[in-house]
Structure 1
Amino acid sequence: MTSEHSKRKVLLTGGTGFIASHVLDCLLDHGFEVVVTARSDEKGHRIVKSIDESLRKRVSFVVVENIAKAGVFDNVFKSDPTFDYVVHTASPFQFHWDDPVKDCLDPAIKGTTGILKSIHAYAPNVKRVVITSSSAAIRSPPNHPEVYDESCWSDVTLEEAILDPKNTYRASKKFAEQAAWSFLMSATPSPTFSLATINNSFTLGPIPRSLPGPDALNTSNRRVHDLVHGHWRDRGVPLSAPVFTFVDVRDVALAHVRAMMVPEAGGKRFYVVGGFFSNPRLLRVVRERFPRLEGRLPAKEEEAADDFPEDHWGFDNSRSIKVLGLEYRGLEECVADTVESMLRLAGEELE
């Protein structure tokens, strides 16, 4: 913690989310005062109660029910214009949508532009905004380049997003991030804050303390949950596709905080990737690290080889290492800590 940033105030949106919960921990570790947004009083109180009692005086919440609603963030900044930074993580992530526009595209795109408009109008002290984008805004399956980096943008279209649910999330992240950069260039007068985006890959890691129960588990950790609780034993090891790169959520959280604090991070995207993974690799880690779970795992003779495509793409995460100083956790540490957190939630012994 540095005195320069100590006691500065941060607005963190999407406070009950998987990534946001770890960003909150990281912000508190760095000495910040944090106001989180939640969709209800009940969820806001749950976030605050999940924090160590000695730190609660530095955490509060405001209710923002619908981030897609025009002007919904105005009162947040009108009532407290003293925020120094904003970290915007709020955005839906799942694989099935009843209404792609209402459930995914609008919250992502309108939520992003809406908060930027409110900051611009009512929060003159904000110096840096960090937005959680995604590797989904970078990747273009099946038209992969040899190496992905921050210069890459997904080729998905809005029409494809509406017609095929597999494309909806990818499009929501692409167009939300592009809308953010466009706002920064076109707003008048020019915004006084700078922007950085975190384009994290498939994110695994310990589950949030504020999680009310296993049913509320984030989508990306669901495959580890299914493995640990015997679903793969019954159904076989599922295909790893469509993503073969992972990152630990604690590294993602630190990336957000460093992107907020490091002057050179302003105006940049950061492709945050820890390494390659596959479902067979997840299985091998769990089998080696948690032998007592053997009865829940697929038979050893069913343990498959990695199912990467033959022409698998590479990734370049050097900007996140050079500018943000990230030192990525490996897959084994990430998976082991994730499994331990799930066993604790289920009330199981860890030995």
Structure 2
Amino acid sequence: MKVLVTGGSGFIAAHVIDSLLQGGHNVVFTARTASKADHILQNHQNIPKDRLSYVIVEDIAKENAFDEAVKSDPPFDAVLHTASPFHFNVTDPKKDLLDPAIVGTTGILKSIKSYAPSVKRVVVTSSFAAIVNPKQSPEVYDESCWNPVTMEEALKTDPSTAYRGSKTFAEKAAWDFVEKEKPNFDLCTANPPLVIGPVVHQFDSLTSLNTSNENVRDMIQGKFKDGLPPTRVALWVDVRDIALAHVRAMERPDAGGKRFFVTAGFFTNSEVADIIKKNFPDLVSKLPDNYDAQSKEFPYKIDNSRSNEVLGLQYRSLEESITDLVKSLKAAGA
């Protein structure tokens, strides 16, 4: 299949591209700058140009931003839309988070409908942020759950609420678009919680690491020597598993029209510290000598069975994920 991947230089997207190429697909990805795009190409120097290339989309929140990107000869069969901001350096929630997420998502769907009639499947990277209810957890989280956040709360509360709002409204806008516009394609969404694992995308320095890996970077740099912080997001998935979930959601006919809650389960910061100490003796001095094992009693359960049954996912262990992440951070100079 010929596939367009948006936001190709992002943490998840870089692994999605790897997974697509391993599966024999041809990939075109979007990037904001040529230097970010060229870094991805350098990671795949043995892949010919007709199997991996890029187009520049400078601002996904602009009107018609993707019109040219979706045009292709030969035409695209599928689009994986991973481009959406995930950070808490927010000065203007609307401009920094909400518009790029919502307008970027509806914008690419409009462009596909208008200019890429060959596309039959679109997979959108959503998030557990669009599922979670921070005020009142249900007994079990699954794909039927939606974050009840309002636009007013997203604009006025705090950066994490704005982020959750951006993912919720963007995903809802995607489902609404497909229902109302009846386009040439069907839709799936992948809804991961905290995504951790080895880094293969370009980042300027270890200070500009993707948000979800920062906690482990801080651990191995000794920033928590005096004590581990509480575990903020208790659910996780390895980046290679969420990447494969995107590819399988694209490939498998019965995935169409479905959300996928893609998570390996619960974790705590004390488990992460234990794994680092066990596998990296040279880093033991960076971590606290003693810490209490943080409770694994959580106020809710999870049901990720759809990802197993429809996508055939078998999740990596936390130990494999953290070990590979630390190796990649050390290679990058941490």
Superposition TM-score, scaled by structure 2 size: 0.96
Q: Hey, what does 2:140 align to over in structure 1?
A: 147
How many residue pairs get aligned? The number is 333
Question: Post-superposition shift, 1:307?
Answer: 4.2
Which letter does structure 2 place at the counterpart of 1:236? Answer: G
1:304 matched to 2:289: no
Q: Is the 1:35–1:60 Cα contact (8 Å) retained in structure 2?
A: yes
Instruction: Check 1:39–1:209 CA distance in 2 against 1; reply closer, same or farther (3 A cut).
Output: closer
Which letter does structure 2 place at the counterpart of 1:315? Answer: I
Which letter does structure 1 place at the counterpart of 2:293? Answer: A
Q: Hey, what does 1:59 align to over in structure 2?
A: 52
For 1:31-42, list aligned pairs within 5 A: 31-42=24-35
Q: For 1:20, what is the secondary structure of its paired residue?
A: helix
**Structure having the larger proportion of residues in helix:** 1
Q: Hey, what does 2:315 align to over in structure 1?
A: 328
Alpha-carbon separation, structure 1, partners of 2:118 and 2:199: 33
Superposition TM-score, scaled by structure 1 size: 0.92
The partner residue of 1:93 within 86, 90, 93 is: 86
Question: Post-superposition shift, 1:93?
Answer: 0.4
Alpha-carbon separation, structure 2, partners of 1:153 and 1:78: 34
1:201 matched to 2:189: no
Alpha-carbon separation, structure 2, partners of 1:216 and 1:166: 18
Alpha carbon RMSD of aligned pairs, Å?
1.5
Instruction: Check 1:172–1:117 CA distance in 2 against 1; reply closer, same or farther (3 A cut).
Output: same
Q: Is the 1:255–1:326 Cα contact (8 Å) retained in structure 2?
A: yes
Instruction: Check 1:171–1:265 CA distance in 2 against 1; reply closer, same or farther (3 A cut).
Output: same
1:219 matched to 2:211: yes
Q: For 1:90, what is the secondary structure of its paired residue?
A: coil
1:282 matched to 2:276: no
Q: Hey, what does 1:4 align to over in structure 2?
A: none
1:125-149 deviation digits (Å, cap 9, x = unpaired): 1010000000000000130011100
Question: Post-superposition shift, 1:56?
Answer: 5.4
1:30 matched to 2:23: yes
Q: Hey, what does 1:3 align to over in structure 2?
A: none
Which letter does structure 2 place at the counterpart of 1:100? Answer: P
Question: Post-superposition shift, 1:47?
Answer: 1.6
**Share of identical aligned residues, percent?**
52
1:269-311 deviation digits (Å, cap 9, x = unpaired): 0000101111111111111111121111112x2x122145x55
1:158-200 deviation digits (Å, cap 9, x = unpaired): 111111222011000000000000000101xx21111000001
Alpha-carbon separation, structure 1, partners of 2:122 and 2:329: 32
Q: Hey, what does 1:123 align to over in structure 2?
A: 116
Q: Hey, what does 1:315 align to over in structure 2?
A: 302
Q: Which runs of 4+ in 1 moved over 2 A?
A: 52-57, 77-81, 209-213
Q: For 2:58, what is the secondary structure of its paired residue?
A: coil
1:248 matched to 2:238: yes
Q: Is the 1:275–1:330 Cα contact (8 Å) retained in structure 2?
A: no
Question: Post-superposition shift, 1:49?
Answer: 1.4
Q: For 1:114, what is the secondary structure of its paired residue?
A: helix
1:39-74 deviation digits (Å, cap 9, x = unpaired): 012211122112242455521110001101111111
Instruction: Check 1:275–1:79 CA distance in 2 against 1; reply closer, same or farther (3 A cut).
Output: closer
Q: Hey, what does 2:328 align to over in structure 1?
A: 341
Question: Post-superposition shift, 1:96?
Answer: 3.2
Alpha-carbon separation, structure 1, partners of 2:260 and 2:101: 19
Q: Hey, what does 1:108 align to over in structure 2?
A: 101
Q: For 1:254, what is the secondary structure of its paired residue?
A: helix
Q: Is the 2:4–2:70 Cα contact (8 Å) retained in structure 1?
A: no
Question: Post-superposition shift, 1:209?
Answer: 4.6
Which letter does structure 1 place at the counterpart of 2:142? Answer: D
